[in-house]
């Protein structure tokens, strides 16, 4: 049979796929994923396939030698298999064959069967106008007995010159720590078994040319749009073929397909670029193009957690409402501590009724004051969790995910933060939580939920048999959020998980913002925000101005540095403004007003990061899509080896356009606390984008933990 070749191209990217049912395994293979190859005829595609075909070694299998979208042993793949399953404890996938394909919007769908294993597989590959590939798979049991699926993951090849891997690590309060390693022979595997991606989530697993940076080097990256257990891998075999692979990490018997049942794998997003800026920019554009992406201007918010912690009472919050309104806050969010019996982390999770000992008149007086001040009211909830010391747990201990039989404390497994996970796949637990949330939203004009998730979903036995319940719980969370959004139009939801432990495009398909980290120390936040925004555009990343001394690190930092760091996302305040000196409130207000003036640019423009050899100096910015406007930050993280530091380049500007570059600061900010170079002392400079991006501009003499903001406007 003649091989079928399909060329999908858009957004500056090409995907070339090939399949032939005469092969031992007929699954589609990717001949090229990368730069747009232009229009290619059938003869040219055949020659491309021939040129891509590796030479067969003495011990090689008699197959094409290019891994498929779902690489398995029957195609000669000796690495991590893309499909593992069995029927009644016996049988591997023996022979998958494409029975046909169909063109779909922006891509192609392949129909695959394995007659011996009695399964069918639909594979979907699309390429968006932004150059982002999205891969999906549905596996159906076509047999007459149950089929146990252990793993279904999808892979994309990367070329031989992709010799380095970038992924992210981290911990609570220190998320998104980059780590690099060579992509040699073997597999770099990242598994998360926490029931969520985790503080150490790779976020985007990237392979690229050695030494690639934000502005240079060809790179390829994949992200799994899933909020439960997951696995990602970069693997190169001894014969040279390399792939980026990703899929849901299934626990034993978590997916047992009855005859006719189907498993839908989480979607994989894949982006290519020359430098991380281009890879990231494509992902941002794709995310912004979703129908669920927030369309309204993002409201500046104040969250009460680091202002009052658990002591959320009307007496403490009423003055804070006045202070928030005075600085221009648009949304007031009451954090933990408002519900019955909640005075610390040890009790009351699950008892979602207003604590009348603290709030004798309920939430209404505070809500009325907030809305009368022109702000939207929001509130914190943690619907998936329960304290053993709660009325809910005492009434329904069987609703708690647990590793073994029995309802006593010994059956619950290890506690974390004095709490456990509710089994939302249990219909009774789901109805209880949904009813409590609907009641809260029906009784008050609440426009925003901060949805927290503070415990890993581990030892998660479901139901009387205690079979693994992570997947079912994750799907129930999705269903609950979808239900809330449908019944309460306009409701916005923030995804928080002990900070940044659940950041993925599965949860972001349903929510409107993520909390990147519980740490709002501005120095740590520089790194957290930079790497979170590798995937997530700024308007979806909560970035808050906190108190002078950071709660999580004990560092004391100047207001301008804290505010300049919080500027670059969905701006908020997490600080007891009611205790500020009267002269400090106008300073905070000036930063709020500066953010509001920049919102259209920050939340729609293209994020750029400059490569710079000095690790103590970070340069990043946002450039308007039409390249007529831009704002940049030059941030001093520490003391440099040389002083002055020299010049930095401003990336992303139109080379042929002239720009006025000037100092940017809040109104009334006065002289900056660092030495201003002569070019900034006056009205700045006017230079073409080619000069600014190549020759650059001199850096001010800044001390550690200081930021210089620049505005570049086309003339």
d(CA 567, CA 303): 16
Catalytic residues: 452, 518
- Length of the chain counted residue by residue: 715
The answer to whether 560 and 314 are in contact (CB under 8 A) is no
Dihedral in degrees, nearest 10, Cα atoms 561, 298, 541, 640: -20
Instruction: Count other C-beta atoms under 10 Å from residue 467's C-beta.
Output: 15
The three-state DSSP-derived secondary structure of 577-615 is HHHCCCCCHHHHHHHHHHHHHHHHHHCCCEEEECCCCCC
Place of tokens 């919102």: 599
Terminal C-alpha separation, the chain: 60
Residues forming a β-bridge with 233: 189, 245
- Counting DSSP H helices and E strands in the chain, the numbers are 13, 39
Pairing of strands 658-664, 107-114: unpaired
Tell me how far apart the alpha carbons of residues 525 and 111 are, in angstroms, rounded to a whole number.
Answer: 46
Closest CA to 468 of 403, 385, 398, 405: 403
**Torsion-angle region of 392 (φ positive above 0: left; ψ -120 to 50: alpha; else: beta):** alpha
Q: How far is CA 129 from CA 69, 105, 107, 294, 599, in A?
A: 22, 11, 11, 20, 25
What is the rounded distance in angstroms from the CA atom of residue 42 to the CA atom of residue 389?
68
CA dihedral 466, 471, 473, 476 (to 10 degrees): -140
CA–CA gap between residue 707 and residue 687 (Å, rounded): 22
- Nearest Cα to Cα of residue 575 among 585, 567, 583: 585
**3 state SS for 57-90:** CCCCCCCCCCCECCCCHHHCCCCCCCEEEEECCE
- Which residues touch 465 (CB under 8 Å, ≥6 apart)? none
| Backbone angles phi and psi of 9, in degrees to 5 | -140, 135
Locate the DSSP E strands across 106-146.
107-114, 119-127, 133-141
Q: How far is CA 329 from CA 136, 366, 510, 552, in A?
A: 41, 15, 25, 24
Hey, what are 39's tokens? 């229009």
**Is the alpha carbon torsion for 390, 396, 400, 406 positive or negative?**
positive
The runs of H, that is alpha helices, within 328-404 are 364-372, 391-395
Cβ–Cβ under 8 Å, residues 8 and 107: yes
Both structure tokens of 307: 């202002």
Is 641 exposed, middle or buried (CB count within 10 Å of its CB: 0-12, 13-18, 19+)? exposed
CB-based contact 83:151 (threshold 8 Å): yes
């Amino acid at each position: 049979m003649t091989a079928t070749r399909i060329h999908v191209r858009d957004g500056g990217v090409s995907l070339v796929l090939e399949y032939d049912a005469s092969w031992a395994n007929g699954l589609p293979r990717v001949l090229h994923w990368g730069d747009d190859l232009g229009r290619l005829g059938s003869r040219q595609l055949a020659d491309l396939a021939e040129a891509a075909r590796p030479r067969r070694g003495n011990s090689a299998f008699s197959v094409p030698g290019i891994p498929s979208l779902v690489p398995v042993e029957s195609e000669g793949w000796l690495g991590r298999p893309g499909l593992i399953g069995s029927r009644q404890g016996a049988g591997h996938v023996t022979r998958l064959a494409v029975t046909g394909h169909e063109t779909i919007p922006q891509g192609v769908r392949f129909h695959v069967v394995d007659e011996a294993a009695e399964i069918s597989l639909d594979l979907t590959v699309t390429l968006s106008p932004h150059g982002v590939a999205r891969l999906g798979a549905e596996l159906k049991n076509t047999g007459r007995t149950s089929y146990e699926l252990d793993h279904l993951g999808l892979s994309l090849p990367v070329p031989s010159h992709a010799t380095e891997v970038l992924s992210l690590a981290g911990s609570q309060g220190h998320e998104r720590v980059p780590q690099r390693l060579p992509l040699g022979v073997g597999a770099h595997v990242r598994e998360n078994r926490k029931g969520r991606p985790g503080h150490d989530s790779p976020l985007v697993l990237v392979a690229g040319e050695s030494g690639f940076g934000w502005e240079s080097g060809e790179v390829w990256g994949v992200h799994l749009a899933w909020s439960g257990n997951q696995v990602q891998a970069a693997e190169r075999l001894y014969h040279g073929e390399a792939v980026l692979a990703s899929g849901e990490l299934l626990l034993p018997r978590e997916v047992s397909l009855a005859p006719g049942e189907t498993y839908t794998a989480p979607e994989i997003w894949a982006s290519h670029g020359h430098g991380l800026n281009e890879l990231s920019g494509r992902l941002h554009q794709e995310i912004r193009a979703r129908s669920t992406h927030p369309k309204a201007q993002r409201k500046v918010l104040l969250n009460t957690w680091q202002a009052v912690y658990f002591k959320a009472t009307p007496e403490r919050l009423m003055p804070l409402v006045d202070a928030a309104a005075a600085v221009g806050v648009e949304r007031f969010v009451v954090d933990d501590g408002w519900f019955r019996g909640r005075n610390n982390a040890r009790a009351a999770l699950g008892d979602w009724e207003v604590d009348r000992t603290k709030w004798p008149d309920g939430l209404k007086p505070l809500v009325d004051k907030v809305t009368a001040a022109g702000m939207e009211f929001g509130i914190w909830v943690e619907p998936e969790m329960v304290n053993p010391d709660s009325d809910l747990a005492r009434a329904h201990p069987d609703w708690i995910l647990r590793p073994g039989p029995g309802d006593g404390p010994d059956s619950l497994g290890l506690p974390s933060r004095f709490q456990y996970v509710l089994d939302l796949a249990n219909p009774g637990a789901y109805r209880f939580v949904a009813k409590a949330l609907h009641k809260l939203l029906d009784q008050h004009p609440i426009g925003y939920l901060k949805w927290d998730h503070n415990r890993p979903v581990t030892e998660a036995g479901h139901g009387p048999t205690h079979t693994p319940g992570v997947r079912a719980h994750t799907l129930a969370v999705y269903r609950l959020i979808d239900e809330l959004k449908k019944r309460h139009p306009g409701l916005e939801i923030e995804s928080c998980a002990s900070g940044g432990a659940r950041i993925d495009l599965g949860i972001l398909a349903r929510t409107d913002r993520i909390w990147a980290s519980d740490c709002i120390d501005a120095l740590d936040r520089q790194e957290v925000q930079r790497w979170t925004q590798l995937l997530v555009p700024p308007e979806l990343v909560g970035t808050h101005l906190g108190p002078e001394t950071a709660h999580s690190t004990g560092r004391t930092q100047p207001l301008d540095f804290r505010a300049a760091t919080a500027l670059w996302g969905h701006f908020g305040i997490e600080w007891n403004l009611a205790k500020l000196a009267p002269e400090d409130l106008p300073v905070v207000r000036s930063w709020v007003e500066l953010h509001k003036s920049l919102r259209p640019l920050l939340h729609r423009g293209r994020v750029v990061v400059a490569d710079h050899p000095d690790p103590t100096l970070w340069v990043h910015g946002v450039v308007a899509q039409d390249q007529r406007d831009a704002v940049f930050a030059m941030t001093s993280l520490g003391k440099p080896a040389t002083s002055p530091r020299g010049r930095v380049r401003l990336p992303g500007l139109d080379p042929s356009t002239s720009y006025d570059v000037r100092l940017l600061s809040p109104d009334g900010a006065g002289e900056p606390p660092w030495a201003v170079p002569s070019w900034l002392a006056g009205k700045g400079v006017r230079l073409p984008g080619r000069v600014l991006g190549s020759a650059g501009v001199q850096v001010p003499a800044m001390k550690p933990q200081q930021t210089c903001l620049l505005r570049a406007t086309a003339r």
